[in-house]
Amino acid sequence: MSPGGATVPGGAGAAAPAGTLVLDEDAGLLEVVPPDRGELARSASMASVMRLGSGSWAAARDAGAARGGFGLLVLAGVLIRRVGVDGRFGAELLGSGDLLRPWQHDGRAGILPFEMTWRVVSPVRMAVLDVRWAARMSPYPEVAGELAGRALERSRRLAVLMAIAQQPRLDERLWLLFWELADRHGRVHRDGVHLDLPLTHEVISQLAAARRPSVSAALGRLAARGVLRRNGRFWVVRGAPPAVASGQGLGFAGEPPDAGGGDVP
């Protein structure tokens, strides 16, 4: 692990010795603590910080920093975990509030081995919630409960991504994907829901389990329909959220469910 707390592009993370009060940076954790105990919990929440620059992250090398504790809590930035079996890949987008335990099943063990890689797409800061942090926070079980709840919420999001990936028409798959991301990361403006995420066509193709050229073409069709556009670093999702009737497929406003789009590449 690199000394001094500087941001490291790719490679191993760097732990900042000054640390941070986790409950100051993650309001959701502070909110679950009873108000009369909030200040004590806040003071006990000091943790060291790991910084990652953009690029590949060799997570196994940094896993030991939090082993035995809760894990690594993302405070800022965006990263992708990519999982592959026999040349087919899926991915999930991770950001602020997500809890990572990279020492758990990395694909080398088990009956069905799989390939797993991590990539930082926007510089990341993570709090190291190690065993010492867990011990200090033990008088505040509400925090542990909230962290467990986030792990379950992450599994729900993965299930939703799996369902979205089953959509046979790529236009519809991407439209659903953007609304799923908007639900968590979006901000409502007069012209639509803004997503301030570093979503390149390559990143989107990984999340949608599709080939990049096909994704680029589908994004162009969505822009032509007026339901999605890019504005600088923002993506803007427009119109009403999709409503999917069971067994009837998904259609854009004013069109039958099987209109538009292209077959899965």
What pLDDT is attached to residue 115? 80
The length of the chain in residues reads 265
The 3 state secondary structure assigned to the chain is: CECCCCCCECCCCEEEEEEEEHHHHCHHHHHCCCHHHHHHHHHHCEEEEEEEECEEECHHHHHHHCCCCCEEEEEEEEEEEEEEECCEEEEEEECCCCEECCCCCCCCCCCCCCEEEEEEEEEEEEEEECHHHHHHCCCCHHHHHHHHHHHHHHHHHHHHHHHHHCCCEHHHHHHHHHHHHHHHHCEEECCEEEECCCCCHHHHHHHHCCCHHHHHHHHHHHHHHCCEEEECCEEEECCCCCCCECCCECCCCCCCCCCCCCECC
Separation of alpha carbons 31 and 180, rounded Å: 25
What pLDDT is attached to residue 239? 85
CATH architecture for the domain at 168-237: Orthogonal Bundle (1.10)
Sequential pLDDT tens for the chain (265 residues): 333 344 444 545 555 456 999 999 999 999 999 999 999 999 999 999 999 999 999 988 888 899 899 999 999 999 999 887 777 778 899 999 999 998 876 556 667 777 888 999 899 999 999 999 999 999 999 999 999 999 999 999 989 998 998 899 999 999 999 999 999 899 999 989 999 888 989 889 989 989 999 999 999 999 999 999 998 888 999 988 876 544 445 555 444 343 334 443 3
Where do the domains of the chain lie? 14-163, 168-237
The class of domain 14-163 in CATH terms is mainly beta
75: Cβ contacts below 8 Å, ≥ 6 apart: 20, 22, 25, 26, 49, 96, 125, 126, 127
Q: For residues 8 and 14, is the Cβ–Cβ distance under 8 A?
A: yes
pTM value surpassing 0.85: no
- Strands 192-195 vs 234-237: parallel, antiparallel or unpaired: antiparallel
Separation of alpha carbons 203 and 201, rounded Å: 6
